[in-house]
């Protein structure tokens, strides 16, 4: 970590923030159970950033482990379409003094849940391409996001997208559970194999199958849950809807990709990497968008350590941070996003 020089202290909504003097004009833009976020200006680069202060990260082993995990995941992410760290700092000069640390990330204008109005197909194409590039990277690192939804897809005015919020992420070999995923964005196989069968989940599955069609016996045999098998067998035989009727503004190539990505059987659905090979993205593809990540080391994910040991690990990660050199986009996109 670079030498920070002097720090300035100020109180924002009853919370003391202690940040390097180069960060000015702090303004709270979000708060949650685990921390709060301020926008700020980096006076050295004139860049607007988002700074996250974790809420008392060393109050317990659980909080410290969560803080360590978030820091490790964010440090690992080095892709233009995945949120990563610009900097991480603490005003503490020694391990014993450290009570807080701060995560500095790019400031993003809005997220897809707040975008209103009609999106032209070239915008949709560019956004989906970036989502898939980010997902490909995450999956190749051995991580599953588990809460991908419009609110976790940040965009700026140039239509550049980053995948956010790895709070629920797990390494791919960990046990999968359905409850973590925001309900309306759960994949059908998550509902079918891991959910308790509530009326809301059943209604959602029915709505999905009214579009995808009710699957046949081959799909039903793959299901682990007897309740899921019984449920699907009892459904009316909804036929698969014609996607070109559902999405009349979408090009034939876009419809073809959408149909492949919304196949009900997860075994038949393309991975992010395969989806990116679809000709729909031919005009956007750039080899620089497909870096090969290092595998994420999840050896501490199931560890039981003392508070002091978690704190020591956090301190080590903060002090060893090296910024990811960002590249200028060669694709100067003329699209604009306005919420």
Whose tokens are 């979000």? That residue is: 30
Helix (H) or strand (E) holding 245: helix 243-246
Largest distance between two CA atoms of the chain:
68
Q: Are 88 and 103 in contact (CB under 8 A)?
A: yes
Could you list the residues known to form a binding site for ATP, using ranges.
53
The tokens of 98 are what? 């450290």
Q: Output the CA–CA distances (angstroms, integers) from residue 117 to 128, 256, 338, in the order listed.
A: 17, 24, 9
d(CA 194, CA 208): 17
| 147 counts as catalytic | yes
CA 20 to chain centre: 28
The torsion angle over the Cα atoms of residues 245, 249, 250 and 252, rounded to 10 degrees, is: 70
- Produce one character per residue of 85-112: b if its CB has 16 or more CB atoms within 10 Å, e if not: bbbbbbbeeeeeebebbbbbbbbbeebb
d(CA 264, CA 291): 29
Spot the catalytic one: 96, 97, 100, 147.
147
What residue ranges in the chain does DSSP mark as E strands? Answer: 7-12, 15-20, 23-31, 35-42, 47-54, 87-89, 102-106, 110-111, 143-144, 153-155, 161-163, 170-171
Whose tokens are 């690192």? That residue is: 141
- Checking 179-182 for CB contacts under 8 A at 24+ apart, the result is 180/146, 180/147, 181/146, 181/147, 182/147, 182/149
Burial zone of 17 (CB within 10 Å; 0-12 exposed, 13-18 middle, 19+ buried): buried
Radius of gyration of the chain (CA): 22
DSSP state of 151: G
Order of strands across the sheet with 153-155?
110-111, 153-155, 161-163
Could you list the residues known to form a binding site, using ranges.
53
Active site residues: 147
């Amino acid at each position: 970590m670079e030498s920070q020089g002097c720090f300035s202290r100020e109180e924002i909504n009853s919370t003391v923030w202690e940040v390097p003097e180069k960060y000015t004009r702090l303004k709270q833009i979000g708060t949650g159970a685990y921390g709060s976020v301020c926008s700020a200006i980096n006076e050295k680069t004139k860049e607007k950033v988002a700074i996250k202060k974790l809420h008392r990260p060393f109050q317990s082993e659980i909080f410290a482990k969560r803080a360590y995990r978030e820091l490790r995941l964010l440090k690992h992410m080095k892709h233009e379409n995945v949120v990563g760290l610009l900097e991480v700092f603490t005003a503490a000069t020694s391990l014993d003094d450290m009570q807080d640390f701060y995560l500095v990330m790019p400031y993003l204008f809005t997220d897809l849940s707040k975008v209103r109005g009609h999106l032209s197909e070239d915008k949709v194409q560019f956004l989906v391409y970036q989502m898939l590039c980010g997902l490909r990277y995450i999956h190749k690192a051995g991580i599953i996001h588990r809460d991908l939804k419009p609110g976790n897809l940040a965009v700026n005015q140039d239509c550049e997208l980053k995948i956010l919020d790895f709070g629920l992420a797990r390494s791919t070999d960990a046990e999968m559970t359905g409850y973590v995923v925001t309900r309306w964005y759960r994949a059908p196989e998550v509902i079918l194999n891991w959910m308790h069968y509530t009326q809301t989940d059943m209604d959602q599955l029915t709505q999905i199958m009214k579009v995808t069609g009710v699957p046949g016996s081959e799909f039903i045999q793959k299901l682990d849950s007897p309740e899921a098998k019984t449920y699907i067998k009892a459904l009316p035989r909804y036929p698969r809807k014609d996607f070109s009727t559902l999405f009349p503004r979408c090009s034939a190539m876009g419809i073809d990709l959408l149909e492949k990505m919304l196949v009900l059987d997860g075994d038949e659905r393309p991975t992010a990497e395969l989806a990116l090979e679809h000709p729909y993205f031919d005009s956007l593809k750039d080899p620089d968008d497909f870096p090969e990540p290092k595998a994420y080391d999840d050896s501490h994910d199931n560890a039981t350590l003392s508070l002091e040991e978690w704190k020591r690990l956090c301190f080590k990660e903060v002090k060893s941070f090296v910024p990811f050199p960002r590249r200028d986009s060669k694709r100067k996109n003329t699209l604009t996003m306005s919420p």
